[in-house]
Amino acid sequence: MLFKLKLFVCALIVAHAAHAQDVRIGVFALFHPDQLTLKAMPAQAFMVQAGKNTFVLERSSGQDAASITSSGDDLILQVGNQMLRAPAIRAASRSGGATDFILAVPTKISRQYHGVLEVKAVSGTLVPVVEMDLETAVASAVQAESDADAPLEALKAQSVATRSYFVAARGRHLDFDFCDTTHCQFLRQPPPPDSNASRATLATRGLVLTYREEPVAAMFTRSCGGRTRTPEEVGMIHQAYPYFPVTCDYCRRNPSRWTRHLSPAEAADLHQRGEASRLDIDRRLGWDAVPSNNFTAHRNPHGVVLEGAGQGHGIGLCQQGAKAMAQGGASFRDILIHYYPNTRLVGVDSYNVGASVPLVLGHPRIELRP
C-alpha cells in the first residue's frame, strides 16, 4: 500500500512538473477576433474537441480545416457540413499533447504554432490560448524580438532574459500567463530548428537569471541611449530586482537620436507619469510618438519639442549594446553580467521550474571592449 502511495505521489509530481514547464500564451488579442480558422499542417493530423464531440483534422481525409465563430459566450464550430455549439474548443495531438497547427484571423493574420490550442468566447470575442513548452515559447519570442543579424552570443543572452521573464512573471493576464504583444513579449510562430534563435535557445536551455535566490522577470530594451535605467527612474513599480543602471558603451557612442513635437498638456503628463504616460501617448498617436524616456524638452510657439535618444523604456538588457558586445567577442555570460549586475545564472531542472543548480558566472561586472 505504501509503495502504491509513493507511486501515486511521484506521478502527481511529474504531472505538476510537466505542466510547470508549459507557458500559456494568449494570441491575436489585438485583433479582437469574432472568427478563427484552424487548419492541419501537411501530412499531419490533430484532434479537435468541442464539448462531447471530437473530430480529426487531416489533409489526406479531405477534412483539414475548421471554422470557429462566437455566439455570445459560446462557440460555433463548423467542420465540413457539421456545425456544433460548445462552451470551449481544444485542439491537440491524438495523445492529447502538443501538435502543429495553423491558426488564422481571416483576411488579417495567419500563424503556425506548436502546442495545445484552447479557444473560448467572452462577450462575443474569441480568446485563443496556445499552451506551449517553455523552450518553444523562448525560441519564438527570441526570433520575434531580435534583429535578423544579431550575433549568436547576443541571441543567447536574449534567450536567457526571455526565459527568465517567462519563469518569473507568469499570470499577467486573467485567462493566460502572457500575451503575444510587447505588453509581455512579442511572439510569433516557432523559428526553424536551424535558425540562430533556435540554436541560441538550445545552447542556453533551462538557464535563468536569479537575484537573492529568486528568478528575475528580466526586462530588456531596444536601445538605452547610453545608460540603462531603473524602474523608479521612469515611474514604474518597484521590482524585486532593482536593475542597477550601467553604462552602455555602444549606445553612448552611437545614440539613436530622435525629435518629436507634443502639446503642452501631453508633455506635462509625460513628465509626471513617466513610462505609463509614454505608452498612453504611443497608443493614441502611434507607437513611435515618444520612442524612449531619455529626452529633454523645450517650448516653442507650436507646443513642446522633445529631443531624446534610445528606443524603449531603457531598463535591463540593451539589445543594440548586446549586439555590439557580441561582435566585439563578448560571450552571452559577459553580456548578462554587464546588463544585470549582481544576478546569478541558474540552471532550472528539466522537470521542475522551482529546482535549480547555480552556475558560476564570475565577477558581476566587466569592462566593455573598445
Residue 347 pLDDT > 70 = yes
Q: State the angle between helix axes of 134-145 and 152-168 in degrees (0 to 180), rounded to the nearest 10.
A: 130
Q: Where in the chain is the domain with CATH 2.60.200?
A: 20-132
Residue 8 pLDDT > 50 = no
Residue 9's pLDDT is: 35
User: Kind and range of the H or E element at 56?
Assistant: strand 53-58
For 38-60, give one letter per residue: b (16+ CB within 10 A) or e.
Answer: bbbbeeebbbbbbeeeebebbee
Distance in angstroms between the alpha carbons of the first and the last residue of the chain = 67
Mean pLDDT of the chain: 86
Residue 1's pLDDT is: 43
Give the span between the Cα atoms of 48 and 54, in whole angstroms: 6
Question: Can you list the pairs that 190-193 forms with residues at least 24 positions away whose Cβ atoms lie under 8 Å?
Answer: 190/112, 190/113, 190/114, 190/136, 190/139, 190/140, 190/143, 191/139, 191/140, 191/142, 191/143
**For residues 290-302, average pLDDT:** 87
Give the span between the Cα atoms of 117 and 39, in whole angstroms: 12
Contact residues for 148 (Cβ-Cβ < 8 A; gap 6+) = none
C-alpha grid cell, residue 290: 515618444
168-205 confidence digits (pLDDT tens): 998 888 889 999 998 899 999 999 999 999 999 999 99
C-alpha grid cell, residue 144: 520575434
- Helix boundaries (H) for the chain: 2-20, 134-145, 152-168, 196-203, 249-253, 264-273, 275-285, 319-327, 332-339
3-state helix, strand, coil in the chain (%, to 5): 30, 35, 35
- 307 by DSSP, 3-state: which? strand
Beta strand pairing status for 220-221 and 317-318?
parallel
The verdict on pTM exceeding 0.75 is yes
Residue 356 pLDDT > 80 = no
Give the span between the Cα atoms of 187 and 315, in whole angstroms: 20
Angle at Cα 186 formed by Cα 183 and Cα 191, nearest 5°?
165
At the top level of CATH, the class of 20-132 is mainly beta
